[in-house]
């Protein structure tokens, strides 16, 4: 590991492999591709400068996503409160029923913020494999093949991990009163 994160090829490979996913993550959260691209660039600049914080190169993906997430949170906090409602990041499955975040009233925005916090806490409580599966398969909408390549899991593992992560999220949302019992 010594010197490995100093290697330009290491960071280039990390960018090639994880950059598209991080960009999708940031674009999804921010709703603005230009801002997402800026934060993607800043993510890698910060990661390279703080290379000593990455002790295990096999965890580069989660490290980069953490850096990107923190930059995105700081970016949103610096903006005017009306620029981006807290819940604006849920535009995909299972959040298709959420109203357009730009049209939310203050009480709806608070409810979205609450939902966002609940989803974040639920993801943090998931095992790493379920959290990764949910992030890649549900939030980023990657194909099973892409997930297989990026995680090293076989197709069966990908399907099972996504299914179980979805079940865990749905149960948590239901228990939290966010889903209608039908």
Residue 73's region, left for phi above 0, alpha for psi from -120 to 50, else beta, is alpha
> How far are the Cα atoms of 51, 85, 177 from residue 29, in angstroms, in the given order?
26, 10, 23
Contact 86, 118 (CB under 8 A): no
Residue corresponding to tokens 């990026």: 150
Per-residue pLDDT in tens (0 to 9) along the chain, 182 residues: 344 555 788 888 888 998 998 988 888 888 888 888 999 998 888 888 876 677 777 788 888 888 888 888 888 777 644 333 444 444 444 444 444 444 555 666 676 777 778 888 888 899 999 998 988 888 777 888 889 988 899 999 999 999 999 999 888 888 888 776 54
Please write down the HEC assignment for all residues of 115-157: HHHHHHHHHHHCCHHHHHHHHHHHHCCCCHHHHHHHHCCCHHH
Q: Is the pTM of this model over 0.75?
A: no
Confidence at residue 108, expressed as pLDDT on a 0 to 100 scale: 64
Domains and CATH numbers, the chain: 1-84 (1.10.1740), 97-182 (1.10.10.10)
46-98 pLDDT, tens digit per residue, is 888 876 677 777 788 888 888 888 888 888 777 644 333 444 444 444 444 44
């Amino acid at each position: 590991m010594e010197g490995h994160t100093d290697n330009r090829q290491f960071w280039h490979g990390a960018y090639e492999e994880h950059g598209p996913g991080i960009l999708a993550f940031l674009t999804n959260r921010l709703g603005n591709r230009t801002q997402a691209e800026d934060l993607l660039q800043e993510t890698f600049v910060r990661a390279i400068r703080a290379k000593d914080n990455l002790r295990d190169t096999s965890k580069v993906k989660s490290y980069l996503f953490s850096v990107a997430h923190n930059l995105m949170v700081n970016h949103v906090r610096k903006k005017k409160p009306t620029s981006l409602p807290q819940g604006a990041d849920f535009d995909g499955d299972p959040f298709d029923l959420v109203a357009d975040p730009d049209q939310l009233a203050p009480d709806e925005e608070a409810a979205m913020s609450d939902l966002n916090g609940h989803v974040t806490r639920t993801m943090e409580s998931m095992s790493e494999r379920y959290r990764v599966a949910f992030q890649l398969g549900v939030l980023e909408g990657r194909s099973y093949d892409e997930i297989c390549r990026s995680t090293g899991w076989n197709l069966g593992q990908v399907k099972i991990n996504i299914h179980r992560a979805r079940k865990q999220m749905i149960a948590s949302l239901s228990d939290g009163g966010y889903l209608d019992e039908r």
